[in-house]
Structure 1
């Protein structure tokens, strides 16, 4: 069965600092014309930062699209400072958001955050064997962050209670839980 849609036209309707928005007209495999609104986003990274006590790091920050504070694992986009390297972006974001460096930075997986409207692709890294950074990189001037450490049990309870709703963070908590269960 053929699922591929064929673009007929594409118009960029917004170009911003973080995203671009395109409206595409496509022809479906059944021959129907349809409109697709697509958010284009730079590739990004997120970090499951685990200390020697088995706790993981989250940052509390305001998120205007949902008009509330969130608890999220550290994350950020790959930008010109990284030369296209997700690993470099992960090291940089770890410094900027936690003021830590990791002797072990291991790729867990890559994933699309919301395939229904966005092409955003994140690479998740596990950061362990942590130490304070020798040189602090400047934090993004438009971010106000508060670092917190949680146990897996606290993270699971916060998912159940609706305190953690961020998809990448939920994914990281369940990943960590799975690895905790394997070690028992």
Structure 2
């Protein structure tokens, strides 16, 4: 048995969209009482930490409707049905930045908001980058601007909240720790 497991009694799907679905579950708590849980189901996503040969971090700026503003992020996107995360990572890197990579390493996977969503983000590091001649380009409803910045510039973007999503803040912190490790 899982510690503190909540057993599902009923599930009521309220919305099924292109990307997410929303459901309300009635659950039995470990103490025998019942409660409701509002849950978002998500297919999962990837993000890519990529640096150019001159050690610039590749970022994209795009408008995020949920925030009603543009923010700067590392390349990322959702998994398509049946698609392996590494395939998604390579596709998103190409579509959003025009780059490909000869080496792709899975670093970690994390849940974004486990209190109400099951979205799992897989973080990859892309190395040995090359520019793709006829790159696929962003989706038709996606408008992005490519940025290439130093680690110090990315850290400044965190401080002034141009970068303030978890996956990109993680990427900046990862790169800083990697730098520190090299210098010891």
Corresponding residue of 2:181: 182
Structure 1 residue aligned with 2:127: 128
- Taking only aligned residues, the RMSD between alpha carbons, in angstroms, comes to 1.3
Q: What does residue 84 of structure 1 align with?
A: 83
| Aligned: 1:69 with 2:81 | no
Q: Mind listing any 5+ residue stretches in structure 1 that lack a counterpart?
A: none
Say whether the 8 Å CA contact 2:74–2:168 is kept in structure 1: yes
1:182 aligns to what SS in structure 2?
helix
Structure 2 distance, partners of 1:29, 1:2, is 9
CA–CA distance in 1 between the matches of 2:138 and 2:64? 17
Q: State which drifts further: 133-142 or 90-99.
A: 133-142
- Tell me what 2:13 maps to: 12
Q: Contact 2:96 / 2:137 at 8 angstroms: preserved in 1?
A: no
Q: Which residue of 2 aligns with 1:150?
A: 149
Measure the CA separation in 2 of the matches of 1:147 and 1:162: 18
**TM-score (normalised: structure 2):** 0.94
- C-alpha displacement of 1:84: 2.4
**Deviation at residue 138 of structure 1 after TM alignment:** 4.3
Runs of 4 or more above 4 Å deviation: none
The SS at the match of 1:30 is coil
Give the TM-score normalised by structure 1: 0.94
1:113 deviation in Å? 1.1
Q: Does 1:60 align with 2:100?
A: no
Taking the aligned partners of 1:90 and 1:2, their CA distance within structure 2 comes to: 34
Secondary structure of residue in 1 paired with 2:66: helix
Q: What's 1:114 paired with?
A: 113
Q: Deviations over 1:19-39 (max 9, x none)?
A: 000111111112221111111
Give the secondary structure class of the aligned counterpart of 1:142.
coil
Aligned equivalents of 1:100, 1:78: Cα separation in 2: 19
TM-fit CA distance, 1:161: 2.2
| CA distance in structure 2 between the aligned counterparts of 1:158 and 1:100, rounded to whole angstroms | 22
